[in-house]
Amino acid sequence: EHGPSATLARMNRALVSRRIEPRFATVFYGVLAPDGGFAYASAGHPPPIVVRRGGAIERLSTGGPMLGVFAGAEFPGFTCRLEPGDSVVAFSDGVTEATRLDGSDFGEERLVAAARANRGLAPTALVDALFTAVRDFAGDVPPRDDITVAVVRMR
């Protein structure tokens, strides 16, 4: 039993067995193979996006519930194929829920637009561009939650 699905199931069992609070987490776990195969599973985490080299956008399938909540929870595994230049953009809900003074959220549409517009940047620069887009949107409103972004690109 290896791979993202089995790993999340083991993590879930470990968290459920603990008797301390809080004992839950959201996780997205993916493994990129040299041939472009991307195996992944999710536990209550926002579904990442795939930004194709040409600008097409795909959402990765949702998975199971948060880790540590349900003892028998399952975390289905999925796979997709990445071509050279394709990127996986994983993000916390703090990104899409970032707000500005008028109360509006940054949202997924703005995230997708920023990722597509900056897809030619190196992964670290893409992460910086996404952070900048969220900061510029929110202005002086402090974040209510963590703002986390990770980018993996097939070379």
Return the pLDDT at 23: 73
Is the pTM higher than 0.85? The answer reads: yes
SS (H, E, C) 92-112: CHHHHCCECCCCCECHHHHHH
pLDDT digits (tens, 9 = 90+) for 108-132: 999 999 999 999 999 999 999 999 9
Instruction: Find all residues with CB under 8 Å of 34, minimum gap 6, and list them.
Output: none
The one-letter code for the residue type at 56 is: A
pLDDT digits (tens, 9 = 90+) for 59-72: 998 889 999 989 89
Instruction: Work out the percent of the chain whose per-residue pLDDT is above 70.
Output: 99
Q: Which residues pair with 24 in a beta bridge?
A: none
Return the pLDDT at 2: 84
